[in-house]
Amino acid sequence: MTDHSSGLDKVPVIVLTFPLPDLVTQRLGTQYHVESLLTPAARQAYVTHSGDLVRAIVTNGSTRLDGAFMDTMPNLCIIHTFGVGYEGVDVDAARARGIEVAYSPGTNADSVADQAFALLLAVMRDIVPNDGLVRQGAWRPIRPVPPQLSGQKIGIVGMGHIGQRIAARAAGFSMPVFYYSRRPCDQAQWTYCPSVMDMAARVNILAVTLPGGPETCNVIDADVLRALGPQGYVVNVGRGSVISNTVLTEALEKGIIAGAGLDVVEREPNLPAALREQPNIVFSPHVGARSPQSLLTCLDQVMTNLHAALAGRPVHTPVP
């Protein structure tokens, strides 16, 4: 039996399953009691004794939340992913239990699109190795003539909020935009491709924005990278599971493609040494979605949905 003498039964308890910046947790804490339970063991230990206190979970897209775990929290009314991904949440199990599942589409699209272009410029223009050489006292480039980004043909895999922001930025670099998505967009200036393979053969750059999950696992396979070719670059700001580490490593080692920029990696944060040691790749630690603007915009959406669900009203952005 849970001891409610602390008064927590009068304050909705929010469980965080992954670390968020202080500006987010502090604002959540002004209205709710927040428990940061960042490991499966910590979550299980808490719900064993206090699961009936939990009214909401704020999670990321990849943390696994299944029906058995939901059953330990009989008063849980909403699971909200902080961002656009939700592949780790068993949505069907939640809905079967009357639990709302919400996400925050579009709230971080500008930040992620910025990151995609930062990675592209960094890998194509040798920003990281040239910086290292200059710091060591050299004044020579790692490559005499690196390619320019302007005018390159870009293929966007997934034309959702993020893909559309990438396309808008591509216009500023005079880049013809090709795209593959589940359905064509009503944008005459972009060229729709019927498959990823068809698109890869027509472009110099692949920008991947796909969410995770079984439907997108290893969509960018060895054949796609061969079609992209030895002058081609791939940047992934979607989910790491879309590109196999093994396939990508081989493509970089053998010169099947010219380079890659990754904000996400398969099975992150466990980065295999063979991939980590590739000189023609630039990494960032899954931070594309993070900027003060995107965090606060996402937080506004989360708070709006939490208020609605806890008051028994439909959320504004349920998962599809």
> pLDDT by residue (tens digit) across 261-283?
999 999 998 999 999 999 999 99
pLDDT at 94 over 50: yes
Q: Mean pLDDT throughout 297-305?
A: 95
Q: Domains of the chain by range and CATH?
A: 8-107+292-310 (3.40.50.720), 109-283 (3.40.50.720)
Q: Mean pLDDT throughout 294-306?
A: 95
18 close to 63: Cβ distance less than 8 angstroms: yes
pLDDT of residue 214: 87
Q: Mean pLDDT throughout 283-287?
A: 95
pLDDT at 91 over 60: yes
- Res. 61 pLDDT band, cuts 50 70 90: confident
Q: Which of 1-15, 208-222, 257-271 has the lowest mean pLDDT?
A: 1-15
pLDDT at 9 over 80: no
Answer with the residue of higher pLDDT: 215 or 93.
93
pLDDT of residue 5: 44
Catalytic residues: 239, 268, 286
pLDDT of residue 2: 44
The residue whose two tokens read 């330990």 is 72
Phi, psi of 36 (to 5 degrees): -90, 105
Displacement of CA 166 from its chain's centroid (Å): 14
50 close to 1: Cβ distance less than 8 angstroms: no
Q: Which of 216, 252, 246, 218 is nearest to 234 (CA)?
A: 252
Mean pLDDT of the chain: 93
Could you write out the three-class secondary structure of the chain? CCCCCCCHHHCCEEEECCCCCHHHHHHHHCCCEEEECCCHHHHHHHHHHHHHHEEEEEECCCCCECHHHHCCCCCCCEEEECCCCCCCECHHHHHHCCCEEECCCCCCHHHHHHHHHHHHHHHHCCHHHHHHHHHCCCCCCCCCCCCCCCCCCEEEECCCHHHHHHHHHHHHCCCCEEEECCCCCCCCCEEECCCHHHHHCCCCEEEECCCCCCCCCCCECHHHHHHHCCCCEEEECCCHHHECHHHHHHHHHCCCCCEEEECCCCCCCCCCHHHHCCCCEEECCCCCCCCHHHHHHHHHHHHHHHHHHHCCCCCCCECC
pLDDT of residue 1: 39
Phi, psi of 100 (to 5 degrees): -70, 145
- Res. 176 pLDDT band, cuts 50 70 90: very high
> pLDDT by residue (tens digit) across 110-167?
999 999 999 999 999 999 999 999 999 999 999 999 999 999 999 999 999 999 999 9
